[in-house]
């Protein structure tokens, strides 16, 4: 049963369904750590991501973009978690975003600022120990728009350059990992959100 669960989570991983849209902000759940802090302890993490989103696709077919548009997004993500006990923890995630778009040779536009945040309550019923090589965690929370979604410069920036989505969302998250040794130095990890 455990092997079936692991295989299902690997094959339905959101990384296999990756898509880029014209919306703003950055994917928060892909950057969230799978670590759950121990009883009454804190966990801090930061990551920096660069996404080149210049190519356009329709399904698996690349679409010829005759505008010569290049887009990229850079984000700094800060994560703080606190463990209430061995199984329950709370996580907060904050993003700072810079998005660039260049059309042709000279037309370049940049939007930057605080992006969206995430607050999540996590439950981890299974951790690596002497009797188990598996980690299993679930979470429920909310994505909160903390930054601007109507930022203006000389003109109002397009939606794809706004640092925040401007939308609240409910979030469900699950992850399973399998350790290849009892010290959990090597893990196979799958997440679903």
* Confidence check: pLDDT of 40 > 90: no
DSSP-based three-state secondary structure for 2? helix
Q: Which residue has the tokens 């439950």?
A: 123
Supply the mean pLDDT for the chain: 75
Q: Does residue 23 contact residue 53 with C-beta atoms inside 8 Å?
A: no
Residue 27 is encoded by which pair of tokens?
């994917």
pLDDT value of residue 21: 46
Q: Which residue has the tokens 């940049």?
A: 110
**Which residue has better confidence, 29 or 23?**
29
DSSP count for the chain of H helices, then E strands: 1, 9
Q: What is the mean pLDDT of residues 109-125?
A: 86
H/E stretch holding 9 reads helix 2-11
Indicate yes or no: pTM above 0.85: no
Q: What is the mean pLDDT of residues 89-110?
A: 83
């Amino acid at each position: 049963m455990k092997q079936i669960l692991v295989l299902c989570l690997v094959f339905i991983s959101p990384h296999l369904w990756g898509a880029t849209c014209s919306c703003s902000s950055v994917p928060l759940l892909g950057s969230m750590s799978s670590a759950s802090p121990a009883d009454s302890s804190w966990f801090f993490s930061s990551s920096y991501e660069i996404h080149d989103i210049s190519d356009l696709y329709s399904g698996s077919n690349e679409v010829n973009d005759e505008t010569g548009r290049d887009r990229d997004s850079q984000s700094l993500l800060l994560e703080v978690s606190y463990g209430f006990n061995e199984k329950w923890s709370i996580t907060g995630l904050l993003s700072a975003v810079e998005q660039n778009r260049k059309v042709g040779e000279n037309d370049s536009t940049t939007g930057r600022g605080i992006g969206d945040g995430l607050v999540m309550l996590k439950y981890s019923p299974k951790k690596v120990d002497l009797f188990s090589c598996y980690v299993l965690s679930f979470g429920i929370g909310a994505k909160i728009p903390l930054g601007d979604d109507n930022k203006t410069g000389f003109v109002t920036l397009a939606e794809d350059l706004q640092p925040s989505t401007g939308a609240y969302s409910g979030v469900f998250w699950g992850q399973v990992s399998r350790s290849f040794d009892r010290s959990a130095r090597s893990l196979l990890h799958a997440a679903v959100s």
